[in-house]
Every structure is written in structure tokens, then in C-alpha cells.
Structure 1
Amino acid sequence: MSTVRRRPVRSGVTARVLDVLGAFTPSAPELGLTDIATRTGLPLTTVHRLVGELAAGGALDRGDDGRYRIGLRLWEIASLAPASRGLREAAMPFLEDLHEVTRHNVQLAVPDAADPGEVVYVERLSSRDAVSIVTRTGSRLPAHATGVGLALLAHADPDDVERVLARPLRRFTPHTVCDPDGVRTLLAQVRGYGFVISDRQIEPVSLSVAAPVRAGDGPVVAALSVVVPADGTNPHTWVPAVRAAARGISRALAAPESRS
């Protein structure tokens, strides 16, 4: 059974608005006022006022049943973010080629600017016959348990990495690597070989092959992965294609039009 992630109450109107919006998750895309108050820790009267203002501005939509969901206005604003626009535009041809070759799930993710221990998925391509996965565009997962997260964490600031590894690491399956030294080993593999295999860490039916994406010859800014069935799959089969796609995106990000 899922648990409600209760956030600490922060001062300031902006912080409270973000808390209200953050109450919505992939597992709870529709919430009532009481649900939002419980998840945020805010008084019901405050939630009622904030939700009303957000709905009036198009950031939330109110259904006929009185429950709320994220509105299109937020999607319009989010599409202006560099990670959602320049990166996705540069990456899309390579993601489409990788998807065409593999016919499996292909994902592109960036680090959470506020928390290097999490990654945000900015694009996902799938097909009807691909293995089921939990991610979607705009969703996030812990970096230590995902291929893209490990590819990003391997190139993060070492102090940030140690802070991430010093806190409890969430276990999703019996295969999730939650031991800090085990995670460090995987991060070393990324730096040494340019890719990582995350084996059944999020779901027992799938594994991912991931590689980092650089801004040309500069820092790592994103990571891509292909997610395939765990049974009957040799993940090393997909390593050359994944690494080639990552290099292609890196070159595209170095082009002048990508920096404009």
C-alpha cells in the first residue's frame, strides 16, 4: 500500500503554492481539498483559497466530481524550460532512431536541480509490445535505482554524491542496490565504461541500459536509456546503440543552433 509523502510546511505564499502543486503525483493525479490538505499539512481553509486561485489561473482543473488535477497552463509554462525545449529538440531524432532500432522503451532524463538524488524524465518513447514501466514524461525517480540516474550521479559533484549516499536509499525490488558501496561501484563503472546496466532495480520484469549525455565536450547534462525485459535479454546487445545515441545528442547540443 502506498504511503502519503507529507511535506514540511514552509512559510511564504510561493512555497505553499508549490506544496499544493507538489501534492499531485503519478499515483495520485486527482485530489480533493481534504487530500491536498493532508498531503501538504496546510490548513483546509488555506488549501481552499490557494486551490481556487490556481484553478482560476488554469494551473489546476476542477472536475465535475469536485476533485482537482494539474491544468494545461502548467504544461505550457513547463515547456519553456531549457531541459524541456532545447534538450528535447536536439535529442528527439536520436531517441526516435534508438526506439526504431530497439522497439523498446527509450527515455531521456535530467537531474533534479534541487536534489541530485532524483532524476526527472523529460521524454519517453514506447510501443504497444514494450515492457511496462512506471515512468512518464515529467515523473521522477531516485537516481540510485535507475540507469539514467546512475549515469547522471556518476558525473555529479562528489560532495553531492556523498550527501545522497548518506541518506536512506529507497528499495523498490530485492535487486535494488541500496548499499552505498554498491552504488559507488556502479558509478565507477559509468565513469570507466561510459554506460551502466541497472538490472531489475525498479521493477523485477525490466532492466535498463543507460549512458550520459554531454553538452558537446562539456559537462553531463542528461542521460538516456533503453528499458527492456529482464528475462531472455542480453543487455550488452544494446550498449553500442545507446552509447551512439548519447554521443549523437551530445554533438547536437554542441551545435550553434542548440545554444541559441
Structure 2
Amino acid sequence: MTSEYSGVPDTVIGKVMLILHAFEVDDHDLPLAEIVRRTGLHKATVHRLARELVEARMLDRTEIGYRLSGGLFELGMRASVERSLLEIAMPFLQDLYARTRETVHLGVLDGHEVLYVAKIGGHRQASAPSRTGGRMPLHCTGIGKALLAHSDVELRQEVLSAPLARRTPRTIIAPGLLAAHLDTVRENGIAFEYEESTIGIACVAAPILDVGTNDAVAAVSVTGPLTRYRPEPHADAVRAAATGIAATLHRRRALQN
């Protein structure tokens, strides 16, 4: 397995990004040899840049090798859009969790994927593959479909014209069928997922729409296992949370202007 970074690896910045992106969600520590294998960079180059990244607090040196440092977390929390969105959305997400007692997500559009900004779940939370800072495809997740249905024509066409990965037997991979599904999502303002990303999981999601442009800023969802959870009864609560977040964002921006 190699790094997913697709930038310019021949520059110093490109090589640094290759090293940082070599760490996956489940990784804690990586030996130097594994970073070399994943990046395809020369061992001496990785060793030199890793040492400099440790000095810059982007990596920590461990007994095994290296791990991502808290300095990256600090930088991430300074990302203005996600930070202000999270600050505003969190009370609504907490209220939604209190009402449903199921896993609540907040996600934003990042390329052809959902980037999960927040995830709230209790002791019995669904064993969904999503996690804060993680990514999932747009076409097979509730949040992804809510975002895609309200995206511009170009992005929608890019996703529909690309191969749609089948993650489960219920994943919608026919472009025409998915397009019709997205039209329904846009019309109703709500998206459902039934075992399309993960077997045994269902989800209901709603877009957080910019009051001025009607573009999707983000989306919120409630997910649970089909053994006890049905998403339809929670549609109004999820839609109300999304509307509340959108209105609060609008007021915050109006005050700042």
C-alpha cells in the first residue's frame, strides 16, 4: 500500500506530504521501513525529512518509529471553515444525539468524498466505518448523497460518470438509478441509506444549506444498526437540526459582516 497523496512528490513539500499521508486512520506508530515502502521515497530522504518533521512537531519519534504529532491537530483546529462550522453545529448535534441515542455525524464535501468533521455516539453506537477525520464515498453514504444532491452540475456529473464502487450488495452503482435517487433527495431535502456503505447499517441525513446560495455547506445524519433502528422516524429531527445549523451560520456571518 502506498500513500494516497496525489500531489507533486518531486518537491520537498510533496515529499513531506507523502510522508504525512502515509499514516492511515488506524495507524499509531509506523517504522521507518514502512514509511519508505508506502511513500516510495529513498530511505535516507525519509529519515532526513522525518527528523525535521519531529523538530517541527509534525511527527513524534517513538520506540517503533514515528507517529503523527499534536502539532498537526493544532493546525487542523485552526481551519476556519470547519472550526466555525463545528462550534456552531455541536449543540445541535448533541441535542440530536440526546433525542435519538444513535450515532450522529457531521460531514463536509471534500472532492468526491465525505470528510467527517464530527461523530457523536454512546456506548451502543453503530459499528459504522466512519470516524472523525475519516472519509467515505459520496455515492453510498447518507451524508454523501445529501451533499451530492445539492452540489453543482459539474461535480454531480463527475461522480456519476466515474466508476461507482460497490461496497455492499445494496450499493447503488447504476448512474441512472443514482441520478434519479439524488433528484428525490434534492426534492425532499432528506437522504436515506440502507446498507449501501456497510451491511447492517441504516442512516438518514439532511444537508446544511447556505441561506444565501442554497449550496450545501455540510450535512448531518443519524446512523444506527438495522437490528433496532429505523431511520424514517428521525427524518424530521435531522432536517430540523440541519436547518437550525444553517440559520445559526447565517446569523453569525451577518454579524461578522
> TM over 0.5: same fold?
yes
Runs of 4 or more, structure 1, over 6 Å off, are none
Cα deviation, 1:34-76, whole Å, max 9, x if unaligned, reads 222222222222211211111111111122222x221100000
Determine whether 1:228 maps to 2:224.
yes
Shift in Å, 1:6: 5.7
Determine whether 1:215 maps to 2:213.
no
* Structure 1: gaps of 5 or more residues: none
Could you tell me the TM-score, scaled by structure 2's length?
0.92
User: Matched residue of 1:144: which SS?
Assistant: coil
Structure-1 residue corresponding to 2:46 = 47
Structure-2 residue corresponding to 1:169 = 164
Q: Any conservation in 1 of the 2:222–2:231 contact (CA below 8 Å)?
A: no
Could you tell me the TM-score, scaled by structure 1's length?
0.91
Structure-2 residue corresponding to 1:158 = 153
Distance 1:127 1:214, change over 3 A: same
* Structure 2: gaps of 5 or more residues: none
User: Matched residue of 1:137: which SS?
Assistant: coil
Q: Any conservation in 1 of the 2:145–2:191 contact (CA below 8 Å)?
A: yes
- Alpha-carbon distance between aligned partners in 2 of 1:164 and 1:214, rounded to the nearest angstrom: 20
The residue type equivalent to 2:52 in the other structure is E
Distance 1:108 1:6, change over 3 A: closer
Determine whether 1:253 maps to 2:245.
no
Determine whether 1:188 maps to 2:179.
no
Identity of aligned residues (%): 39
User: Matched residue of 1:245: which SS?
Assistant: helix
The residue type equivalent to 1:226 in the other structure is V
Equivalent position to 2:92, from 94, 108, 127: 94
Shift in Å, 1:7: 5.2
Alignment: residue pair count: 254
What is the root-mean-square deviation of aligned Cα atoms in Å? 1.9
User: Matched residue of 2:119: which SS?
Assistant: strand
Q: Any conservation in 2 of the 1:210–1:223 contact (CA below 8 Å)?
A: yes
Structure-2 residue corresponding to 1:106 = 104
Q: Any conservation in 1 of the 2:30–2:64 contact (CA below 8 Å)?
A: no
Distance 1:108 1:48, change over 3 A: same
